[in-house]
């Protein structure tokens, strides 16, 4: 891209980004269909796709109630008929707009909402940026309509260089990223089929999701090679109920849950560290007892689950760590109960006898196998009926998982206190780009060269990091090839495959290293969501363009 063209490219991205933002596409609404159609129309006006209409198509999500669809477009280089193929991707949905309250009608009108927001009390930093011409406000402008606009412009630019391309460039604009990634997961299987039909080899995926500061006062701009993963480890805590008047005759599941919470929540020994980069520790998303009415009987069942980020740990390893935490928690509670009971006995002048509780921690698969050995195929018939009933009710994936665990446990002959550790959906695999194979080396080199070239032109302090820190569809561009790791997930996820599954084979077959080169802004998913025009429309497009160019040399 020559110097004269750089400013034009930035302005073009800005105009398309604002136009896309004006099309409301909140996740879980018909707006996701509308935005797909707008993007399709935009691409259809490009000369290349007028000549190659077969290279532009919709990819519907099967059995989707809203009829949502992704947009797929690709250009094929004529130089040497290379198999080398780059995937560029972006999500076309946004978070909801309820936070805009009475300003809802302006949420996706960047030219209006900025003025309207000035009537709201924000912190000094946000107020200053509200009054600056360098910031654009509105739902989706940052997360991630600008990123999608950048990819659309890149696709058009590379259609003009078709005879010089040593490879192919694929674009997908997907819905439901803010929900359950149904768009991306449907695309994975289509991409695998397309690669097989056209003899392509995916060598890298390039996303343009948002990039922001890591801490207050952070002046760096980031490019991420690789992406964080996410698991949802859950704990079903089964105690032994008792009347509150005989408190030491039972084991309070709330007390057990509290200790698990203490041992797991924000525990830095569970941070996943790779190449010196550290995930946030697990944080709780749910803690609730499972009683439905008031009673003076102590609680006998509690459910907990945590957001658990990964850089290198696979599901089977995370399960082992969580099981160890549960075992430690159980031992701690038993120790405390005996200590407090002994103190109580001394105060009440009654004899002390050690309490009978014993720590018992099982994974879901261990629980299921015990029950299977006792009941045989009968348990599978019971579960099949339950699954059908739960699907009819349309229950949440987490509730579905818990119901399965409770049902299996109900038929277990051992009804003593225990903790069952399992996974609930969703699962986002991490992608760690270490530079071990040719694909990874090529991507690392392409990005590093692009960043260095742009740093020589601009004064931004651009830093390359290994893991995009926010959950994104990049995770589905690959998954572990290790059978034991995958089995550790699927065998211990009660919802699998009845309510939730991933196209594992397809993900393994298209597996590729990933990079996120995103625009800069602040406050994604907040009322004050905003995009900075500096970097987003000058340096970022250059890094993106040069990275793609380096990969397609």
Q: Per residue in 257-295, pLDDT tens?
A: 999 999 999 999 999 999 999 999 999 999 999 988 888
pTM for this one? 0.93
Structure confidence at residue 3 (pLDDT) = 59
Percent of the chain clearing pLDDT 90 (strictly above): 93
∠ CA 91-164-86, rounded to 5°: 30
Structural contact between residues 237 and 260, judged by C-beta atoms closer than 8 angstroms: yes
Calpha distance 130→265 (Å, rounded): 36
Ramachandran assignment for 383, one of left (phi > 0), alpha (psi -120 to 50 degrees), beta (any other) = alpha
| Token output for 346 | 């001394």
Residue 299 banded pLDDT, cuts 50, 70, 90: confident
CA distances from 226 to 424, 467, 481, 513 (A): 24, 5, 17, 7
> What's the chain's average pLDDT?
96
- pLDDT greater than 80 at residue 4: no
Strand, coil or helix: what is 207?
A: strand
Residues in CB range of 109: below 8 A, 6 or more apart: 22, 138
For the chain, how long is the longest CA-to-CA vector? 93
Strand, coil or helix: what is 349?
A: coil
Q: Using one digit for the tens of pLDDT, what is the confidence trace for 28-43?
A: 999 999 999 999 999 9
Residue 450 banded pLDDT, cuts 50, 70, 90: very high
Structure confidence at residue 295 (pLDDT) = 81
Structural contact between residues 454 and 543, judged by C-beta atoms closer than 8 angstroms: yes
Residue 1 banded pLDDT, cuts 50, 70, 90: low
Structural contact between residues 31 and 179, judged by C-beta atoms closer than 8 angstroms: no
Structural contact between residues 440 and 511, judged by C-beta atoms closer than 8 angstroms: no
Structural contact between residues 209 and 525, judged by C-beta atoms closer than 8 angstroms: no
User: What sign does the dihedral 8-11-17-18 (CA atoms) show?
Assistant: negative
Strand, coil or helix: what is 183?
A: helix
Structural contact between residues 61 and 68, judged by C-beta atoms closer than 8 angstroms: yes
DSSP state of 242: -
Q: What is the mean pLDDT of residues 517-531?
A: 97
Calpha distance 90→148 (Å, rounded): 5
CA distances from 330 to 73, 177, 271, 323, 417 (A): 54, 38, 22, 11, 10
Strand, coil or helix: what is 136?
A: strand
Provide the CA 238 distance to its chain's centre, in angstroms. Answer: 30
Structure confidence at residue 247 (pLDDT) = 86
Percent of the chain clearing pLDDT 70 (strictly above): 99
Judged on CB neighbours under 10 Å (0-12, 13-18, 19+), 144 is buried
Q: Using one digit for the tens of pLDDT, what is the confidence trace for 219-253?
A: 999 999 999 999 999 999 999 988 888 889 899 99
Calpha distance 183→379 (Å, rounded): 34
Bond preceding residue 89 cis, omega within 30 of 0: no
Q: Which residue has the tokens 């969703």?
A: 426
Structural contact between residues 509 and 428, judged by C-beta atoms closer than 8 angstroms: no
Q: Using one digit for the tens of pLDDT, what is the confidence trace for 364-385?
A: 999 999 999 999 999 999 999 9
Structure confidence at residue 289 (pLDDT) = 93
- pLDDT greater than 70 at residue 2: no
Alpha carbon dihedral 416, 422, 424, 428, in 10-degree steps, equals: 170
Q: What is the mean pLDDT of residues 483-494?
A: 95
Structural contact between residues 412 and 368, judged by C-beta atoms closer than 8 angstroms: no
Structural contact between residues 546 and 154, judged by C-beta atoms closer than 8 angstroms: no
| Token output for 310 | 């990964």
Structural contact between residues 44 and 37, judged by C-beta atoms closer than 8 angstroms: no
Structural contact between residues 167 and 551, judged by C-beta atoms closer than 8 angstroms: yes
Strand, coil or helix: what is 174?
A: strand
Q: What is the mean pLDDT of residues 310-329?
A: 98
In 3D space, the residue among 208, 213, 260 whose CA is nearest the CA of residue 89 turns out to be 208
CB atoms within 10 A of CB 53: 10
């Amino acid at each position: 891209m020559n110097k004269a063209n750089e400013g034009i490219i930035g302005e073009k991205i800005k105009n398309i980004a604002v136009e896309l933002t004006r099309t409301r596409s909140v996740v879980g609404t018909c707006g996701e269909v509308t935005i797909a159609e707008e993007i399709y129309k935009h691409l259809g006006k490009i000369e290349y796709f007028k000549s190659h209409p077969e290279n532009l198509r919709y990819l519907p999500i099967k059995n989707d109630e809203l009829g949502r669809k992704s947009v797929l477009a690709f250009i094929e280089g004529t130089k040497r008929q290379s198999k080398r193929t780059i995937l560029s991707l972006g999500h076309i949905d946004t978070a909801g707009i309820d936070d805009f309250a009475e300003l809802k009608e302006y949420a996706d009108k960047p030219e209006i909402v900025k003025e309207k927001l000035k009537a709201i009390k924000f912190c000094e930093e946000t107020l200053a940026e509200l009054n600056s011409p360098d910031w654009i406000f509105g739902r989706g402008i940052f997360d991630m309509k600008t990123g999608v606009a950048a990819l659309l412009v890149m696709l058009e630019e590379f259609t003009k260089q078709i005879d010089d391309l040593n490879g192919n460039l694929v674009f997908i604009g997907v819905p439901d990223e803010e929900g359950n990634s149904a768009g991306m997961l449907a695309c994975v299987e289509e991409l695998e089929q397309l690669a097989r039909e056209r003899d392509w080899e995916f060598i890298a995926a390039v996303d343009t999701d948002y990039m922001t500061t890591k801490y207050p006062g952070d002046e760096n701009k980031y490019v991420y090679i690789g992406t964080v993963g996410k698991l949802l480890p859950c704990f079903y805590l089964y105690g032994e109920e008792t009347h509150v008047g005989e408190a030491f005759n039972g084991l309070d599941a709330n007390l057990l849950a509290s200790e698990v919470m203490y041992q797991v929540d924000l525990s830095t020994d569970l941070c996943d560290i790779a190449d010196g980069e550290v995930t946030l520790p697990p944080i709780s998303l749910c803690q609730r007892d499972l009683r439905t009415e008031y009673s003076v009987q102590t609680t006998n069942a509690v459910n907990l689950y945590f957001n658990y980020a990964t850089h290198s740990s696979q599901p089977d390893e995370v399960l082992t760590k969580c099981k160890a935490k549960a075992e430690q928690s159980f031992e701690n509670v038993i120790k405390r109960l005996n200590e407090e009971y002994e103190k109580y006995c001394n105060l009440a002048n009654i004899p002390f006898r050690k309490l009978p509780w014993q720590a018992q921690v099982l994974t879901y698969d261990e629980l299921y196998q015990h029950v299977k050995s006792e009941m045989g195929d009968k348990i599978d018939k019971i579960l099949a009926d339950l699954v059908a009933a739960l699907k009819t009710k349309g229950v949440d994936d987490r509730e579905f998982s818990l119901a399965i665990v409770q049902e299996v446990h109900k038929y277990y002959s051992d009804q003593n206190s225990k903790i069952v550790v399992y996974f609930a959906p969703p699962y986002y695999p991490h992608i760690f780009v270490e530079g071990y194979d040719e694909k990874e080396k090529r991507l690392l080199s392409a990005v590093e060269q692009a960043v260095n070239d742009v740093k020589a032109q601009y004064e931004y302090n651009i830093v390359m990091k290994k893991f995009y820190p926010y959950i994104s569809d990049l995770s589905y561009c690959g998954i572990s090839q290790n059978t034991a790791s995958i089995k550790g997930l699927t065998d211990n996820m009660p919802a699998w495959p009845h309510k939730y599954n991933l196209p594992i084979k397809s993900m393994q077959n298209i597996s590729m290293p990933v990079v996120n080169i995103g625009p800069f802004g602040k406050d994604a998913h907040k009322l004050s969501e905003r995009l900075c025009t500096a970097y987003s429309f000058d340096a970022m497009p250059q890094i993106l363009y040069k990275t793609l160019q380096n990969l397609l040399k």
